[in-house]
Amino acid sequence: MDRNKEIKKIKPDNREVSKYDFIICPNCGAEEVGKFCPNCGQSNKDFNKPIKEIGADLLDSINLDIRLINTLVPFFFRPGQLAEDYFKGKRRRYVPPMRMYILFSVLFFFLAKFADIEKLDDVGKISNGPSADSINHEVAMALTDVENNLRTELEQNEIPFDTTYLEYAENLKDSAGWFKKNLKVKTKEQDTSNKSFGDLSPEEIQEIKDEIALDSTISKSTKDIIRGGLNIADKKDVFWEKFLNNSSYVLFILMPFFALILAMTLFRSKKLYVHHLIFSINYHSFIFAFSSVIILVSMVLPDNIMQHGGYLFFIYPLYLMFGIKKYYNRSYVGAFFKTIGISLLYYFVIFIAIIAIMAFTAKGFAEG
């Protein structure tokens, strides 16, 4: 057959075919293809058609929106329901699990890029205690009160200010001076130790770099990570963006790892690994979805309200607990203890992963 001939549809009187069946695939030239080419996979739809058929395709896309609406209610308020229905064959009414994951993960990382990264300045600070100046002022006031009380006590008891007391008073003042001087040095050192990388001056950063370069006990990889951490002081936005990009890949890898934890912890359920994987996909989709809600709310509400927003993160283990109860048919008590064990193990893995991502990302700024 000459493949240069015009593409022709197979006539219905030859055999039962759909209106999309072609003799030759327009993309790769494969013969006797149906709705989809078995060679390249291209859909052989004919787009030279009336507007009413284009409208029908549009309705098909609207159907996806309806499926999304049908999915959101059990997704947020009935943990474990979507995974259960998935293996009962009730899949058409819902958005597929991986599509939900992609949707909410993209939404989360998009919103995270616009989050207030200035809050990252608090990372690395040990405490938010009183400053050195305020401590010095309080100590100076206390020492002055001691000296005044001593003089008042002597006057009330009609004790003369002889040489002994005068020497004692002078010694007290000298001690106070020494104490205030040394306290100021110590509190200054404390303030320096409380600084994050963003608070260090260029001279202090360079001094640290010089010390690291001369330290033979530190490996080259560790030196690169430390130098990278110092260099991101004025590049926090770039660091944050790269950190999020790296996190998206790692979290995708951790998703099947979480399914493995479920399989080991809930082995008595006798479910296949794919059952745990679908549950894991839905759970991680919820994490991204609810985290997106938190970011949006934090952008609207003032800081004095959101300072207690940390309690919202208890929603994640609660969602997991109700999901385990529903999907794995456990009691509330059993689901509670399973959730504690799974969460502790998985959050520890996430913590290690975040540290590794931060180190890997910072290492990329070593030559900055």
Domain ranges of the chain: 1-48, 96-122+234-363, 127-194
What span, in angstroms and rounded, lies between the C-alpha atoms of 72 and 195?
A: 44
- Average pLDDT in the chain: 74
For residue 59, give both structure tokens. 């309705």
**pLDDT single digits (tens) 178-217:** 444 444 444 444 454 455 555 666 666 667 666 777 766 7
Q: What pLDDT is stored for residue 207 in this prediction? A: 72
Beta strands in the chain (DSSP E): 22-24, 31-33
pLDDT at 285 over 70: yes
Residue 332 has pLDDT above 50, yes or no: yes
What is the average per-residue pLDDT within 289-298? 89
Q: Which residue has the higher pLDDT, 353 or 13?
A: 353
> What pLDDT, in 10s, does the model give residues 47-80?
666 766 666 665 565 555 678 888 999 999 999 9
Confidence of residue 154 (pLDDT cuts 50, 70, 90): low
What span, in angstroms and rounded, lies between the C-alpha atoms of 332 and 237? 44
d(CA 88, CA 150): 86
Tokens standing for 255?
Answer: 């998703």
- CA-CA distance, 340 to 346, in Å (whole number)? 10
**Nearest-angstrom CA–CA distance, 289 and 147:** 63
Q: pTM value? A: 0.62
Range of 268-272, 298-302, 320-324 with top mean pLDDT: 320-324
Please compute the mean of the pLDDT values over residues 307-336 and round it to a whole number: 91
Tell me how far apart the terminal alpha carbons of the chain are, to the nearest angstrom. Answer: 62
